[in-house]
Structure 1
């Protein structure tokens, strides 16, 4: 690369920040880890700027660096893939930041659908169950659309090895993704989904656990990362909520939002000492055929990142 000053180079790299962050998020499953990987990517890119020879696009060069930065971070922090269907380090990705990647009008609808489906929490969770290098191969081939030879060059493998790893990765994804994956219609903008979310919100405000139970699918899954444990099935979920004291909870307020291209609600609980409603939890919903198939609940530390208010005053 022709010698450029740091401000010029930074501007060249900065325009790719969001897509690189999303790429690292898919690899890592954690918003905060993705932040660290992107910062490391920018640092490595500046230090190695002379190595960019123009044989590939500048964007592809950055993706190579970002993928290696993510793989190095995985090796350092989470060398073993997730097990048991849960990812304790899972964090949500705000739709308001994903909107920075809005497809232009010329993009094919199928491409936009792939982008949405590969950022939903179930997909991110499934990815985290793959070993790191097959995970990278799958993301680069099936999400980013790289040719196998480019993936092989990045990973230092043969094309045959990459294709074999990709087959194993795809099989692993099928094992961990919901069986009805191809039929998902529960995006945040779906009219039926909006109605389910409205009813769910009303039932939460009323702490009406019977009403919520009627909206849950028989095999509903509930989790609350980083707290260990996945509840599977309506009866198990209701029993867990009842044991946790939800039916007795009073003084809730609900703020609708969306994360990972899924509908979500931020719940606030009245705190008399503060004379305000303060953040409690964020529920991210997966809705299928008018029923709630999965609820992933995040703690109150996620509210600032999601752009939710830090407090709601008494109305």
Structure 2
């Protein structure tokens, strides 16, 4: 560890004996969140400054192109929201002699003479933070609720009336019926005016499941980490507006979903097709979809009932790379609706409230999303990755041994006839055993000028699938350096798909970046 003290409070950092890979640079969740808020702190903290900022933002607004217009309006709404909060605090204290008058020239939360100092970066809620509403988890509901797992016959469509009289159509889910409904509506009390430590204690229990949610929405582990931090920042700014009518989990999921939607609007990423590279045999099959931002997710970071009794039950199927790649083809709002409805199990009414849509719009988006997704998912359930057993682990062991011994024949025996290899974000791809074997033969042959080096591997698990962290010792060197993380899809005793990722994510999987030569 290069830093012996917390980057936020300078307290000593506790060591993690026996754990390799990623190291913490903060002593607590509160310090981690505080550091993120400080990095994102707004430069304007007075009412007069905000008014001037609003004026500048209004003058800069242009209706074209739409993405720039949306970004400008979002920034404007954020500034207006902060200004509104200053005005509200001033109004609420104006006629109350029992409290110190609020200084409307400062952001609420700035120290007032005679009062205890408040948190310095106590910002107002951003416009994108969703509004709270009565907790749908308490009392009877007339909303459309997804049938319990296994209760709806295959292919059957059920219709329920909503309070507004709209027909909400529930079609068969694109995932297995064993997907558990998320408990996102458990009750909680008001949590306004929380300090940093109390706020961290309130939201940190949901970090893992929110990261999974953001990962499904974004398809990237790195982006999911950032989106969770942004979710907590928005929640911190909106904490005084959270009156506890909805549960903390419901509140955080709404903010997280809208944070992801804002991110997707800004990036406007779309899957493309791989293209042939000059002089390279890719095979005769059609090029697969290329999703440059796709990243693996460590199984170790999935929520567990051992961590908290009400932890989100994660369906392994909805974490597979084939599912994550498929939903990236959906428009952002359709993707959000499908994840909330079919993966998390929210009702149409709950989803509509979270996304500020009507129930009819939610049902329409879901009806469009499901066929698109089915077209890109395996047709038969047997084509999904089976739970790894002894046979699959044996295949992984043979895979690692073949690479380490530079045994091309043993490697080839493990590959299915229609094996597919992709390397996001890189442009390399191969479909078919012959094409992949030709590529491997060059890199595994010590006599070849393109010989990569000698290999070592460590087993890992990603997205509910077996994986291997590959290390290469280049000719003339003595250290094995992280090279690639291969996630395998295995059917029977054959590997049918290899997705190779860059090594910067090794620490997230508890894998070191270097191995000694004498390992």
Per-residue deviation, residues 8-66 of structure 1 (Å, max 9, x unmatched): 11210111111111110110011111111111100110111123233321101100000
Distance 1:211 1:53 in 2: 63
Tell me if structure 2 keeps the 8 A contact 1:253–1:268. yes
1:26-65 equivalences under 5 Å are 26-65=216-255
- C-alpha contact (below 8 Å) 2:470/2:485 kept by paired residues: yes
Larger Rg: 2
2:513 to 291, 310, 313: 310
Match of 2:296 among 83, 92, 98: 92
How do 1:182-201 residues align onto structure 2 when only pairs under 5 Å count?
Answer: 183-187=383-387, 189-201=388-400
2:270 is matched with 81
Could you tell me which residue of structure 2 aligns to residue 153 of structure 1? 353
Give TM-score scaled by structure 2 length.
0.56
Partners of 2:338 and 2:445 lie apart in 1 by 43
User: Bigger shift: 84-93 or 61-70?
Assistant: 84-93
Shift of 1:148: 0.8
Distance 1:235 1:178 in 2: 23
Corresponding residue number in structure 1 for 2:305: 103
**Structure in which a larger fraction of residues adopt helix:** 1
1:218 and 1:14 map into 2 onto residues whose CA distance is 46
1:104 Cα deviation after fit: 5.5
What is the TM-score normalised by the length of structure 1?
0.89
How much has 1:81 moved relative to structure 2?
2.8
Matched, 1:231 2:430: yes
Q: Which residue matches 2:117?
A: none
- Distance (Å, rounded) in 2 between the aligned partners of 1:267 and 1:281: 5
Q: Which runs of 5+ in 1 are unaligned?
A: none
Match of 2:393, SS state, is: helix
Q: 2:324 — aligned with what?
A: 124
**More contact order relative to length (CA 8 Å, sep ≥ 6):** 1
Residue 182 of structure 1 and its aligned partner are, at CA, apart by 5.3
> CA RMSD of the aligned region, Å?
2.3
- 3-state SS of 2:427 partner: strand
Runs of 5+ unmatched residues, structure 2: 1-189, 274-288
How far apart in 1 are the matches of 2:408 and 2:381? 28
Conserved 8 A contact 1:86-1:125? no
CA separation of 1:182 and 1:49: change in aligned 2, threshold 3 A: farther
